[in-house]
Structure 1
Amino acid sequence: MGSIASPPCPISPSSYPSLTREQAGHLRHFHNLAAQLDGSWHHMGSQEPLQEFLDAYRYQLATMAYAVGVSHYHRQPLLRSVYKPLMRRLIHKMLCRDVWAYWFNTSLGGVRTDPSRTSLRTPWANPIARENIMYSGHLLLMVSLYAMLFDDNEFEKEGSIVFNWDPLFFGLGPEKFTYDTASLEKAILKEMERNGYVGVCCEPNMVFVVCNQFPMIAMRYNDARHSTNTISTLLPKYQDAWKAKGGMVRSNGLFPDAWLEVQDHVLSASDPGWTAWAAAFMNTWNSSLIRELYPKQSEGYLTTIDGETRLHPTAVGNAIRALVADESLPANSEATLAKARDIVRKANAPPGFPYSKPLLAYIVMWLSELGRTAELTSLLAYTDAHLNPTWEKGGLYYPRHDIITSDFKSGADMEMEWTHMDPFAGNAAIAYSRLNVEDGQKKMWEHPWTSKEVKERVWVDGVSLADGVDFLRGVYDPDVGEGAVVMSMKCWNESVRSVRVKPVVKGLGAGKWSVWVGGEFVRTDEMGKGGKDAVELDVEVSQEMVDVVVVREA
């Protein structure tokens, strides 16, 4: 008698989107960085040694967390046990003293942020108490995102966010500052109120538009989670406060860089950096304005010529904008670009600020959120061709390079092609731009996951990036038959023949669930009614992608 043929798999995993090699490599790099021992910051060192500038640890860690968030929410909602420990580890790193200790010195103030200052302030170590939204705002979004995505109240418990201040050779003894999500949010709201709702200071005396977007997104998640209405009350006050300062949009079409508290003066932007960064996250609550402004805000700084999008140094971008305004030249023209470069070259202006703003980082995040796929794809292709993409332990990053422009043909600084790479872009922002989707932040704002949704979701436990496996698919499709789980994995390490992983599929409804691994039928498990409560698997994963499919029978 012939053997009974195994039933064929009823669905094709390839019909579901898979992470690209680059996307999986970025997530692996996050894991590699987050897994370092505390105090080790390999690949994360910044231009400014005291962590005060824009490529500091806090910006890298926060943006990695946001990339983890959009990847889990939009691409792989099944893989809770993959994303949760990664985000938890990034939050742990964010709470390390290395990340926030800069504030003690920054709190002294100085003439660079307040030209009227003639003496320094008495410093304080607590990074939350006042000002410093450039840290506290990102931290609030990280812990709020964690709670929303994983229905975990760890940081909502009293005293769960701890800052230990105990310098070795100065001070009068250790200090400990404790918060939780609610008290952290309350501290930020108190500062917003103190400044008339125009926003919380980053550095002393300076309120930046961009840095205040992150805590407002966090407040939206917390409102959805706890049925409060903080953000709906705050946003009108915030908008009115900026109207009173002359409006959020300045005459050049860009958002203001900052408001000086003591001088009551608004600093207009002279480059697109903080406008792009703000727009990438303001798209959550002000999307119509963000999309309306994109052409004017990007003009000159980004050009698309013969199908290739290029990012230009600020001086070149401003020269293009002037040529468009004064001579009606087309912005996206090789001739206009050449003329603008010649203007900058002849001006031979001396370098200004000692550190270079991570402009590329802000631009690619902006393009990603607005779904400017052609421009983003072209700019990332340029980045991959010229800015040294590097693979290490299965992770993809772009190593730091401080020179802003050069001529690739001769090495002379003449053609002004972009070459700058900071660790914020190279470790985090480029990754974010690849893992995000169009309106990724906006969709999360409009529909944050509720506790009920997370509790009722089918999900996978028992696996993580620490297993040495990249997870390329991870979705539950309720519209296929009676429900289907699709998961695809691949071992990243070519020196290892294979690894074994033991995923556990949880949250399945009652009924019979059939399992296929690598296209081969494995078994059928009965869920509920005295049967199992999860499908437990033991899968060998090699360098060839293996698919796991679990389907409920009709």
Structure 2
Amino acid sequence: MTTTTTTTATGTLTVSTHPPVEISKYPKLDASQAGHLRHFHNLVSQPDGEWHHFGTLEAQQEWDDAYRYQLATMAYATGVAHYHRLPAMRSAFKALLRRIIHKMLRREVWGYWFNTSHGGNLLDPDLKELRKPWADPVIKENIMYSGHLLLMTSLYAMLFDDDEFEKEGSLTFHWSPLFWGLGREDFTYDNRSLQEVIFQQMEENDWVGVCCEPNAVFVVCNQFPIIAMRYNDSRDGTNNVNEVLKKYEASLIRKGMITDSGLYPSFFALKQRQAIPARQGAHTAWANAYMNTWNSEKVHSLYDSQVLGFLTNVDGKTRLQPTRVALGFRKLVLEHREDPQSPETLRRAREISSQFTNPVFPFETISWNCFTQMLSELGKEKELNDLLEYIDSHLNPTWENGGLFYPRNDELFDEEHHMIHMEPHSGNSGIGYSRLNVKDGQKKMWEQPWTHEILAQRPWVDELTFADGVDFLRGIWDNEARAIVVTLQSWTGNPREVTFTVKNLPQGDWAVYVNGALKQTTTVRETEGVGVTVNVGQGEVDIVVGSL
């Protein structure tokens, strides 16, 4: 081992000229993973009111590719990437998640609710006249927005031990159409008051959940506030979620929303008191990606019966089928006992698929996002890798300003029956989530949320964000080696000087190594960190800050 002698505030030390750890043993993000995070940053860094690449199929933000879903999935992808892959890069992920939440509070995201609150006979066939509308997007129903907002802000608090959205008035909705109404209205909440409103409605609905649209309770959208309550319990020292889950799970079973096999029903109609049969599998897959937190055994036990037809494997490769083909496939296998591994079954399913189009909805089901999220969470590596390989081969992966996404394509098939449909929820955030998540990613966060005590003991990188023009490939504190490891790369390839501080290091002497060579030594006192300045260009730059 080569050493050198240096003088610090604590005396003369002999220091190794090489870092104390082998940096290659620490996993790093690949180009696609870094590209997805960069794309999230690019999207939410646009000026307010600009929604480039967000464009949705349904003009009123009422479909599954709406702004709120794209933003929420970006937030959850940001969360799993920080928690599981880059836990030391605190300032970068905090700034990104905060910006996503800022966009979530824009009126363009939640203003649809005023029209939706009237109700409609699509989900409430007994409705005879429209209801009196209201603009407040979280006071009643609309869990498809309020549940996501609750989890996004609870995730923020858990990851960064920050009470910003727990303060009174921190979640305020400004309703001020320019030429409509009698003046501006403000609807004021915070994370805990929002949680109270949501779970009060669950109780009023006999614990089956809160409505998304009027009269319709979906399984998937009620998973997010439940996870949020778990994080809030970890901060408050309470255990409210266990009691809620007992009542919620019992109600789902009692009302036929979860059975021993098959898809979850489309929704539970409150007035009619019945579960409406499923017409697609995407919501089931989406629900499983998050229900795995608290109901993992059930989710895994249902997997085979639920993915039948939607995920096929007739040539050694897993392929995702459009909903209409999948429903035809399920009919052939379940009712006519045809072979699910046979190419002939898939061929016949395509032939009869027109029988299973849904005349009510003129849009294709949002599938890539839902199934890839589920596969990543359940650790189905082969199936997920097969789908990602297909996506990269057929769905036009696009790089823009260092970010990776899959542009919208409204066509369903190409001439060879390859599914080429892509919408913004999948293309902007869902596929990125599946690459950034790990097996049981949500489940592990549920079981071991970060607490004040955990974060107070962990060093982290400050003063560095995605706006600084570099990608973060590594960012981890190794407690055993007493070293923080960071790998940076300029996404433009152009050299740039980057400065950051490693905060919360124990007092003592620390050495900074850049690309394997000793650069400096620093003595950390009670309120100090270690400042690092490096030049980052086209190649990767490895930084190790290790204890002496």
- The TM-score, its normalising length taken from structure 1, stands at 0.94
The reply on whether 1:384 has 2:386 as its aligned counterpart is no
- Residue by residue over 1:236-261, the C-alpha shift from the partner in whole angstroms, topping out at 9 and shown as x without a partner, is 111121222135127x6111120111
Counterpart of 1:283 in structure 2 is 292
Q: Secondary structure at the match of 1:191?
A: helix
Amino acid in structure 2 at the alignment position of 1:66: Y
Amino acid in structure 2 at the alignment position of 1:492: W
Counterpart of 2:443 in structure 1 is 442
The reply on whether 1:394 has 2:415 as its aligned counterpart is no
The reply on whether 1:550 has 2:545 as its aligned counterpart is yes
Deviates more, 1:104-113 or 1:309-318: 309-318
- Residue by residue over 1:159-211, the C-alpha shift from the partner in whole angstroms, topping out at 9 and shown as x without a partner, is 11110111101101110010001100001011111111110000001000110
Q: Quick check: 1:104–1:124 contact (8 Å CA) kept in 2?
A: yes
User: 1:359: how far off?
Assistant: 1.1
Amino acid in structure 2 at the alignment position of 1:320: F
37, 40, 65: which one aligns with 1:30: 40
Counterpart of 1:161 in structure 2 is 171
Alpha-carbon distance in 1 for matches of 2:162, 2:535: 31
Alpha-carbon distance in 2 for matches of 1:116, 1:378: 45
Alpha-carbon distance in 1 for matches of 2:285, 2:475: 31
User: 1:4: how far off?
Assistant: 5.8
The reply on whether 1:539 has 2:534 as its aligned counterpart is yes
Amino acid in structure 2 at the alignment position of 1:524: T
Deviates more, 1:31-40 or 1:223-232: 223-232
User: For residues 248-327 of structure 1, what are the structure 2 equivalents within 5 Å?
Assistant: 248-249=258-259, 253-327=262-336
User: 1:282: how far off?
Assistant: 0.2
520, 541, 549: which one aligns with 2:517: 520
Q: Secondary structure at the match of 1:173?
A: coil
Counterpart of 1:475 in structure 2 is 476
Counterpart of 1:412 in structure 2 is none
Counterpart of 2:377 in structure 1 is 369
Counterpart of 1:199 in structure 2 is 209
Counterpart of 1:150 in structure 2 is 160
Q: Secondary structure at the match of 2:313?
A: strand
Amino acid in structure 2 at the alignment position of 1:241: S
Counterpart of 2:462 in structure 1 is 461
- Residue by residue over 1:303-346, the C-alpha shift from the partner in whole angstroms, topping out at 9 and shown as x without a partner, is 1233311011122212222222234333133232123223336x
User: For residues 339-350 of structure 1, what are the structure 2 equivalents within 5 Å?
Assistant: 339-344=348-353, 347=355
Counterpart of 1:499 in structure 2 is 496
360, 364, 376: which one aligns with 1:356: 364
Alpha-carbon distance in 1 for matches of 2:401, 2:466: 12
Amino acid in structure 2 at the alignment position of 1:446: E
Amino acid in structure 2 at the alignment position of 1:110: G
Count, aligned residues: 537
The reply on whether 1:177 has 2:187 as its aligned counterpart is yes
Alpha-carbon distance in 2 for matches of 1:33, 1:249: 40
43, 57, 65: which one aligns with 1:47: 57
Counterpart of 1:487 in structure 2 is 486
Q: Quick check: 2:57–2:363 contact (8 Å CA) kept in 1?
A: yes
Counterpart of 2:136 in structure 1 is 126
Q: Secondary structure at the match of 2:173?
A: strand
Alpha-carbon distance in 1 for matches of 2:4, 2:382: 51
Amino acid in structure 1 at the alignment position of 2:476: V
Alpha-carbon distance in 2 for matches of 1:41, 1:249: 40
Deviates more, 1:128-137 or 1:12-21: 12-21
- Detail structure 1 runs of 4+ shifted over 6 Å in the superposition: none
Alpha-carbon distance in 1 for matches of 2:313, 2:25: 33
Counterpart of 2:11 in structure 1 is none
- Residue by residue over 1:414-437, the C-alpha shift from the partner in whole angstroms, topping out at 9 and shown as x without a partner, is x3x211101000001000000000
- Residue by residue over 1:273-311, the C-alpha shift from the partner in whole angstroms, topping out at 9 and shown as x without a partner, is 110000000000000011111111111210123331101
Amino acid in structure 1 at the alignment position of 2:231: Y
Q: Quick check: 1:304–1:375 contact (8 Å CA) kept in 2?
A: no
Alpha-carbon distance in 2 for matches of 1:351, 1:241: 31
Alpha-carbon distance in 2 for matches of 1:201, 1:340: 34
Amino acid in structure 2 at the alignment position of 1:419: I
Deviates more, 1:4-13 or 1:146-155: 4-13
- Which consecutive residues of structure 1, in runs of 5 or more, have no partner in the other structure? 409-414
Amino acid in structure 2 at the alignment position of 1:93: K
User: 1:357: how far off?
Assistant: 2.0
User: 1:508: how far off?
Assistant: 1.1
Amino acid in structure 2 at the alignment position of 1:283: N
Deviates more, 1:133-142 or 1:193-202: 193-202
Alpha-carbon distance in 2 for matches of 1:331, 1:489: 47
User: For residues 180-259 of structure 1, what are the structure 2 equivalents within 5 Å?
Assistant: 180-249=190-259, 253-259=262-268
Amino acid in structure 2 at the alignment position of 1:519: G
RMSD between aligned residues? 1.7
Alpha-carbon distance in 1 for matches of 2:480, 2:523: 20
- Residue by residue over 1:458-489, the C-alpha shift from the partner in whole angstroms, topping out at 9 and shown as x without a partner, is 10001110000000000011122xx1111000
Q: Quick check: 1:110–1:120 contact (8 Å CA) kept in 2?
A: yes
Alpha-carbon distance in 2 for matches of 1:295, 1:148: 34
Alpha-carbon distance in 1 for matches of 2:492, 2:253: 55
Q: Secondary structure at the match of 1:504?
A: strand
User: 1:373: how far off?
Assistant: 0.7
Q: Quick check: 1:151–1:455 contact (8 Å CA) kept in 2?
A: no
Q: Secondary structure at the match of 2:488?
A: strand
